[in-house]
Amino acid sequence: MSRVFHRHTREELPSAAKGEGCYIVDTDGKRYLDASGGAAVSCLGHSHPAVQTAIREQLEQISFAHTGFFSNPPMEALADILIDQAPEGLERVYFVSGGSEAMEAAVKMARQYFLEIGQKQRTKLIARRQSYHGNTLGALSLGGNMWRREPFQPILLENAHHIAPCYAYRDKRHDESEEAYGLRAANELEKKILELGSDTVAAFACEPVVGATAGALPAVPGYLKRIREICDQYGVLLIFDEVMCGMGRTGHLFACAEDGVSPDLLCIAKGLGAGYQPIGALLVAGKIFNAIQQGSGFFQHGHTYMGHPLACAAALAVQKVIRDENLLENVQRRGAELRAALEERFGNHHFVGDIRGRGLFIGIELVADRASKQPFDPKLALHNKIKKKAMQEGLICYPGGGTIDGQQGNHILLAPPFIIDETHIAEIVDKLGRVLDSVFAEAK
Ligand code: PLP
């Protein structure tokens, strides 16, 4: 009997023994094609020799030196490689150990920035419904997924407010262009800022491509540009959460590059270290760093393991492999192929409402009725059934249930490693087809 407190307390999970490229092998020898990189993490697949070597070599040098006392070479080199490619205006990197920590740091840095510049009345935060920013209390307060928030609602931040997501499949009117819808959706932010008091809002946070709670949902063209304009007009900081969609997942190192918009604070994690070590980071605009440097001189926040040398060495190796092997090109090419194969197999499927995404970040939204877009009854817990069946088939995908008008909707998120080839694509589509046929046969 396992003595581990697994999150799924009643399920017995297979035990991962080995990683081989795009596959995980369990202790019974069963192979699973990792079509979601766990939760969009393993972007280089498993057991990449260059990353293994980098970790080993760093271990021989030094494995820990507290950042209150020291910087370290891999941390400095990783900051350089990130800032060299970062969206305009982002000049410094604050390292942490994961996505939630990156979001917590972003919120606290936004708050401290306003203290430094003498605007201490800016205490309110705005984010979007149907979003996920992490499970720590600050990040959960920003998140807009009701299922995740509900049990903890009484202890969440009271100053976190929410507007609608940019969800063209569900919210765009038939007589509306994408651009017009994008403006309408973005203008909700202006309304909310004015309602709360324009000089009381510190920051607005969103995922440029929504991951876990909506299934690779990109904003329509123009939406993020309008969001940026509104933030600038009212002096509100813009936080992009690219924990899931960043680091090449969409075919660009930073997802927001495709929208031509730069935030003031940008959170990354998952693909940064590709799962080889736990690491996240917050990229910070020069104006924020300067305000703190020239003000109190100290960011009043931190964690023991931030800037961990082994984690930074692993992430540095991951980023070098992506750069040196031109893997972003592969993400775009294989992403288009996977999307086309999914369209061909499921495009007219009775229960598939939408296939969307960017690069190798693809969502399939499942509906009970294509015409009305009616979601499945949440009581069916379809996402749990899909995950279980997929594991039986030897396929790792990331099914989820978002919140649609207070109801749970269902999607499957695919985020395979950047190194996939056409045989993996065929295997993903084939296995997913069997999974859906079987789950829908039971659900009828
Ligand atoms: N932000 C986004 C967009 C995420 O998808 C996640 C995790 O799924 C997080 C934040 C939290 O990251 P972590 O689980 O590393 O704390």
- DSSP letters, 225-279, are HHHHHHHHHHT-EEEEE-TTTTTTTTSSSSGGGGGT---SEEEE-HHHHTTSS--
Digit-coded pLDDT (tens) for 287-306:
999 999 999 999 999 999 99
Nearest-atom number in ligand 1 for the CA of 98 is 15
Question: What mean pLDDT value characterizes the chain?
Answer: 96
Sequence-distant (6+) residues with CB within 8 A of 329 are none
Index of the ligand 1 atom closest to the CA of residue 280:
15
DSSP secondary structure string for all residues of 297-319: S--S---TTTT-HHHHHHHHHHH
pLDDT (average), residues 257-281: 98
DSSP 362: E
Could you tell me which residues come within 8 angstroms of residue 394 by beta carbon, excluding any fewer than 6 positions away?
A: 30, 31, 32, 33, 431
pLDDT digit string, tens, across residues 46-56: 999 999 999 99
- Please report the pLDDT score of residue 407 as a whole number: 59
Three-state secondary-structure class, residue 397: coil
pLDDT given at position 408: 65
Q: Average pLDDT for residues 388-404, to the nearest whole number?
A: 90
Q: Per 3-state DSSP, what percentage of the chain is helix, strand, and coil (rounded to 5)?
A: 45, 20, 35
Cβ atoms of 121 and 105 closer than 8 Å: no
Mean pLDDT value across residues 218-237: 98
Which of 400, 434, 346 has the alpha carbon at shortest distance from 33?
434
Q: Return the axis-axis angle of helices 99-116 and 286-294, rounded to nearest 10°.
A: 60
**Orientation angle between helical segments 309-324 and 327-346, nearest 10 degrees:** 80
In this structure, which residue's CA is closest to atom 12 in ligand 1?
99
Please tell me the distance between residue 242's alpha carbon and the centre of ligand 1 in angstroms: 9
Using CA atoms in the order 108, 114, 119, 124, what is the torsion angle rounded to 10 degrees? -40
Given this model, what pLDDT does residue 381 score?
86
- With a cut of 90, say whether residue 380 has pLDDT above it: no
- Nearest to 82, CA basis, from 410, 391, 315, 332: 315
Distance between CA atoms of 23 and 40, rounded to whole angstroms?
14
Helix (H) or strand (E) holding 364: strand 361-366
Query: Residue 420, CB half-sphere, CA atoms under 13 Å: how many?
Result: 33
- Separation CA 319–CA 325 (nearest Å): 10
pLDDT grade for 162, boundaries at 50, 70 and 90? very high
Average pLDDT rounded to a whole number, residues 3-23: 95
Q: Is 442 helix (H, G, I), strand (E, B) or coil?
A: helix
pLDDT for the residue 444: 66
The Cα–Cα gap between 385 and 165 comes to 27
207 lines ligand 1 (CB under 6 A): yes
Please tell me if the CB atom of residue 243 comes closer than 6 angstroms to any atom of ligand 1: yes
Positive or negative torsion for Cα 147, 109, 99, 326 = positive
Interval between CA 133 and ligand 1 midpoint (Å): 5
Ligand 1 centroid to residue 244 C-alpha, Å: 6
Q: How many residues are recorded in the chain?
A: 444
Q: Is 205 in the pocket of ligand 1 (CB under 6 A)?
A: no
Q: Which atom of ligand 1 is nearest to the CA of 269?
A: 15
Residue 32 pLDDT more than 70?
Answer: yes
- Please give the distance, rounded to the nearest whole angstrom, from the Cα atom of residue 211 to the centre of ligand 1: 9
Give the model's pLDDT for residue 154.
97
Query: Looking at the predicted structure, is the pLDDT value of residue 4 above 70?
Result: yes
Q: What is the pTM of this model?
A: 0.98
Q: Is the pLDDT at 177 greater than 90, yes or no?
A: yes
Long-range contacts of residues 22-25, Cβ cutoff 8 Å, at least 24 apart: 22/46, 22/416, 22/417, 22/419, 22/420, 22/424, 24/396
Q: Is 308 left (phi over 0), alpha (psi -120 to 50) or beta?
A: beta
Pairing of strands 361-366, 352-358: antiparallel
Average pLDDT over residues 345-357: 96
Report which DSSP code applies to 374: B
**pLDDT for residue 403:** 64
pLDDT of residue 401: 81
Ligand 1 centroid to residue 19 C-alpha, Å = 23
Q: pLDDT tens across 189-211, in order?
A: 999 999 999 999 999 999 999 99
Ligand 1 atom with minimal separation from the 103 CA: 10
Token pair of 87, please?
């969206």
Q: Which residues pair with 285 in a beta bridge?
A: 90
Q: Which of 74-78, 238-242, 436-440 has the lowest mean pLDDT?
A: 436-440
- Determine the distance separating the centroid of ligand 1 and the alpha carbon of 84, expressed in angstroms: 24
pLDDT interval class at 405 (50, 70, 90)? low
CA distance 117 to 181: 35
- Ligand 1 centroid, distance to 127 Cα (angstroms): 15
Q: Which residue has the tokens 């270290």?
A: 273
Whole-angstrom CA distances from 248 to 88, 240, 375, 377 are 17, 15, 31, 35
Q: Is any ligand 1 atom within 6 A of the Cβ of residue 98?
A: yes
Answer whether residue 426 shows pLDDT above 90.
Answer: yes
**From the alpha carbon of 101, which atom of ligand 1 is closest?**
16
Residue nearest to atom 13 of ligand 1 (CA): 99
State the distance from the centre of ligand 1 to the C-alpha of 229, rounded, in angstroms: 26
| Predicted local distance difference test score (pLDDT) of residue 347 | 95
The β-bridge relationship of strands 237-241 and 201-206 is: parallel
DSSP 434: H
Q: 443 alpha carbon to ligand 1 midpoint, in Å?
A: 30
Give the nearest ligand 1 atom to 211 CA. 5
Distance CA 281, CA 7 (A): 26
Ligand 1 centre to CA of 294 (Å) is: 32
Mean pLDDT of 413-424: 98
- pLDDT more than 90, % of the chain: 92
What pLDDT is stored for residue 167 in this prediction? 94
CA of 209 from ligand 1 middle (Å) equals 13
Pocket test for ligand 1, best of 132, 210, 268, 272 (most atoms within 8 A of CB): 132
Percentage of residues in the chain with pLDDT exceeding 70? 98
β-strands 352-358, 398-404: how paired?
unpaired
User: Residue of the nearest CA to atom 15 in ligand 1?
Assistant: 99
Beta carbon of 149 within 6 Å of any ligand 1 atom: no
Residue 103, ligand 1, Cβ within 6 A: yes
